[in-house]
C-alpha cells in the first residue's frame, strides 16, 4: 500500500512539475544568434519620395509665400520634421508624374518656365520647383538624390541630356547650361530609375515588357556613356490586379536587362477598406513573399549574366505605404490629392514593412516610403503649422538606430490565420496561415550593440516574451522605446499627439536571457549589448 501511495505521490509531483514547465513555456520566445546572419543593412532602405503630386512639393516642402518658410521658400517647420527621419535617399520627381515630365521645363529663370497641364494627377504644374531647387533641398537634408527619367512620353536623348546637365562638370551644352543657371559644380546624381510603373495601363506611355526593355536598354546606354558611374534601376512590377501577370513582367525585364541595371524597383500599397485589423496587420508578409519571388527570378537571371565584378541586381522597394482612404476619383486629383490621415494600426503595418526589409537585407538594398509631406506622408502641413503622423514614429526609430548586420531570428509565439482579402484597391487577394502575433527583426554591430524590433500584432493582449542569446551574453541594460496608443484607431492631429515614441523603463540584462512583455497593438525597439 505504501508503495502504491509513494508512486501516486511521485506521479503527482512530476505532473505538477510538468505543469510548471508548461506554464513557463507559454512565454513566447525570441532567439538571437549573432553567428546566424542574413546580410548588411543598407542605409538606403530608409529613403523617401518627393513627387509633384497634390501638396507634396507646393504647400509641403516648398511654400515661398509662407511666413514659415526660409529665404529659398522651404518650410522651416517641415524641414525640421524631415531631419528627424534621417532620410538616406530621396526619389524625385515621380511617380506617375514623371511619365509626362520634361525636365527642361523646370530649369532656368522661374519667370521663363512654362506652366503645363499635369496629366497624371490633374493639376497645373508651374515648374517653379525643378531639378536645381530639389538639389538645394536634398543638400540641406543630407540625402542621396535619386532621379527618375521619363520613359513614357520622353525620349532616350532627353534622359541622356538630363545626366549631362546634372553630372558633367563642363564642356558640353547642357553642362554649360547648368553653370549658366548658377550651379558651377555638377550635382553628381548617382541613382537613376528608368521610368516608373511602365507595366501599368494607367501610365502615360505604357509599354509591354519587351518594348520597355528595348527602350530602357538604349536609354541606359546613352546615360552610361555620359556618366559611367551611375546606378540604374529598372521599373519592376506594379500592376497586381487580378488577371495581370506581374512576375512574368519581372522575369522578362530581368532577362533583357540583367547586364544593364543594378536594381529592380517594386511597389506596394496596402489598406484596410474592410476594417479587418488582423488581415491588415498581415500585409507586410505579402511584401516579403514578393521579395522572395523576385529574389528567385534575380538568382535565375544571374546564372546567365555577364556582369563581371559588378554586384548582382538588388531589389529597391522604391514605393511602399498604406493608401486606401483617398482613392476615389475626387481624392486622387487636384491640389489636395492623397491626403491620407494615419492611425496606430497603420503605424504597426509600417513597422512590419521595415522589419521585412531588415529580414531581407541580403537582397533589399533600397526602399522609399511614398511620400514625404502631405501626400500619403508621415508629415502633414497646413499654412499655419504641421504635425507628425503616427507612421512617422516607427520610421524615425528605424532610420535613426537600426543598422549593422541583420540576424536570422527564431520566433516562437502564437499565430493566427487570415480571411481571404484584398490587399488594397487595385491589388490582388491574399490569404495567409500561421501569421505570428510577434513580428521581429534584429541587427548586430561589431561593437556588440544589438537592436531588436518587435510588433505585437495582438489587438488585446500583451505577450510576455523570453529573449534568448544563443551566442554571447546580454549585459548592462536594454533601452526600451515603444510606439503605442489607447486603441488601434488612435490618430494624431494639429495640437494633438496621441501616438508617438515613448521611452519606457530600461530592462536589466545579464546572462543569456531577458524577459519583456510587449503590450497589445504596439511596436517596440530594444537597444542593448551582447558580449561575446
Positions annotated as catalytic residues are 197, 319
- 515 in helix, strand or coil? strand
Pick the closest to residue 30 from 517, 468, 356 (CA basis): 468
The neighbour count for residue 462, using CB atoms within 10 Å, is 14
For residues 257 and 243, what is the distance between their CA atoms, to the nearest angstrom? Answer: 25
Helix%, strand%, coil% for the chain, nearest 5: 30, 30, 40
Measured between alpha carbons, how far is 450 from 443 in angstroms, rounded to an integer?
6
In angstroms, the Cα distances linking 384 to 67, 210, 463 are 9, 49, 42
Angle at which helices 246-257 and 283-302 cross, to 10°: 30
Residues 492 and 522 sit within 8 Å (Cβ to Cβ): no
Task: Count CB-CB contacts under 10 A for residue 318.
Answer: 29
Q: What is the rounded CA–CA span in Å between residue 470 and residue 468?
A: 6
Q: What are phi and psi of 91, to 5 degrees?
A: -85, 140
In a 13 Å sphere around the CA of 101, the CA atoms on its Cβ side amount to 31
> What are the CA-CA distances from residue 200 to residues 227, 239, 503 (Å)?
29, 5, 44
Which residue pairs from 1-10 have beta carbons closer than 8 angstroms and sit at least 24 positions apart in sequence? Answer: none
In angstroms, the CA 274 to CA 421 distance is 9
State the Cα–Cα distance between residues 385 and 316, nearest whole angstrom.
Answer: 33
What DSSP element (H or E) covers 255? helix 246-257
- CB of 423 within 8 A of CB of 271? yes
Please give the C-alpha separations between residue 391 and each of 165, 168, 202, 372, 394, in angstroms, as whole numbers. Answer: 36, 39, 28, 11, 6
**Would you call 108 helix, strand, or coil by DSSP?**
coil
Is residue 256 within a helix (H) or strand (E), and if so which, with residue range?
A: helix 246-257
Closest CA to 454 of 368, 370, 516: 516
For the chain, state the CA radius of gyration: 25
Phi, psi of 453 (to 5 degrees): -115, 125
Q: Which residue has the cell 503630386?
A: 53
Total Cβ atoms within 10 A of residue 513: 14
Amino acid at each position: 500500500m505504501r508503495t502504491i501511495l509513494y508512486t501516486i505521490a511521485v506521479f503527482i509531483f512530476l505532473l505538477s512539475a510538468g505543469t510548471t514547465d508548461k506554464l513557463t513555456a507559454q512565454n513566447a520566445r525570441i532567439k538571437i544568434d549573432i553567428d546566424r546572419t542574413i546580410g548588411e543593412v543598407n542605409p538606403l532602405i530608409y529613403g523617401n519620395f518627393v513627387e509633384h503630386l497634390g501638396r507634396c512639393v507646393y504647400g509641403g516642402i516648398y511654400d515661398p509665400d509662407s511666413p514659415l518658410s526660409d529665404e529659398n521658400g522651404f518650410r522651416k517647420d517641415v524641414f525640421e520634421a524631415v531631419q528627424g527621419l534621417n532620410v538616406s535617399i530621396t526619389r524625385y520627381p515621380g511617380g506617375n508624374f514623371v511619365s509626362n515630365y520634361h525636365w527642361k521645363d523646370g530649369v532656368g529663370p522661374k519667370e521663363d518656365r512654362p506652366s503645363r497641364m499635369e496629366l497624371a494627377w490633374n493639376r497645373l504644374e508651374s515648374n517653379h520647383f525643378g531639378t536645381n531647387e530639389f538639389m538645394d533641398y536634398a543638400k540641406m537634408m543630407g540625402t542621396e538624390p535619386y532621379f527618375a527619367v521619363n520613359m513614357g512620353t520622353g525620349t532616350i536623348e532627353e534622359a541622356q541630356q538630363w545626366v549631362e546637365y546634372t553630372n558633367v562638370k563642363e564642356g558640353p551644352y547642357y553642362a554649360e547650361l547648368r553653370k549658366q543657371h548658377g550651379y558651377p559644380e555638377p550635382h553628381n546624381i548617382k541613382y537613376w530609375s528608368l521610368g516608373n510603373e511602365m507595366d501599368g495601363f494607367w501610365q502615360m506611355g505604357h509599354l509591354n515588357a519587351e518594348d520597355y526593355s528595348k527602350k530602357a536598354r538604349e536609354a541606359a546606354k546613352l546615360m552610361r556613356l555620359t556618366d559611367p558611374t551611375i546606378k540604374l534601376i529598372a521599373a519592376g512590377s506594379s500592376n497586381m490586379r487580378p488577371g495581370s501577370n506581374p512576375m512574368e513582367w519581372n522575369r522578362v525585364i530581368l532577362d533583357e536587362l540583367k547586364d544593364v541595371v543594378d536594381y529592380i524597383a517594386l511597389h506596394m500599397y496596402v489598406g484596410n477598406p474592410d476594417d479587418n485589423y488582423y488581415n491588415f496587420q498581415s500585409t507586410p508578409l505579402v511584401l516579403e513573399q514578393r521579395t522572395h519571388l523576385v529574389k528567385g527570378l534575380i538568382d535565375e537571371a544571374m546564372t546567365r549574366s555577364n556582369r563581371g565584378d559588378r554586384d548582382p541586381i538588388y531589389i529597391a522597394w522604391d514605393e511602399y505605404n498604406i493608401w486606401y482612404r483617398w482613392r476615389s476619383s475626387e481624392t486622387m486629383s487636384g491640389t489636395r490629392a492623397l491626403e491620407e490621415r494615419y492611425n496606430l494600426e497603420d503605424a504597426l503595418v509600417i513597422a512590419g514593412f521595415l522589419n521585412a526589409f531588415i529580414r531581407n537585407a541580403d537582397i533589399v538594398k533600397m526602399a522609399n516610403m511614398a511620400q514625404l509631406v502631405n501626400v500619403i506622408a508621415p508629415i502633414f502641413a497646413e499654412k499655419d503649422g504641421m504635425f507628425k503622423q503616427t507612421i512617422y514614429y516607427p520610421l524615425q526609430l528605424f532610420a535613426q538606430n537600426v543598422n549593422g548586420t541583420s540576424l536570422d531570428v527564431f520566433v516562437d509565439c502564437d499565430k493566427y490565420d487570415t480571411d481571404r482579402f484584398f490587399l488594397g484597391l487595385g491589388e490582388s487577394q491574399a490569404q495567409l496561415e500561421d501569421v505570428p502575433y510577434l513580428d521581429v527583426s534584429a541587427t548586430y554591430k561589431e561593437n556588440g550593440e544589438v537592436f531588436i524590433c518587435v510588433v505585437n500584432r495582438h489587438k488585446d493582449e500583451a505577450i510576455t516574451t523570453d529573449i534568448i542569446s544563443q551566442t554571447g551574453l546580454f549585459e548592462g541594460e536594454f533601452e526600451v522605446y515603444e510606439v503605442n496608443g489607447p486603441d488601434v484607431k488612435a490618430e494624431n492631429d494639429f495640437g494633438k499627439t496621441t501616438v508617438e515614441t515613448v521611452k519606457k523603463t530600461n530592462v536589466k540584462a545579464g546572462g543569456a536571457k531577458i524577459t519583456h512583455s510587449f503590450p497589445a497593438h504596439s511596436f517596440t525597439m530594444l537597444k542593448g549589448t551582447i558580449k561575446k
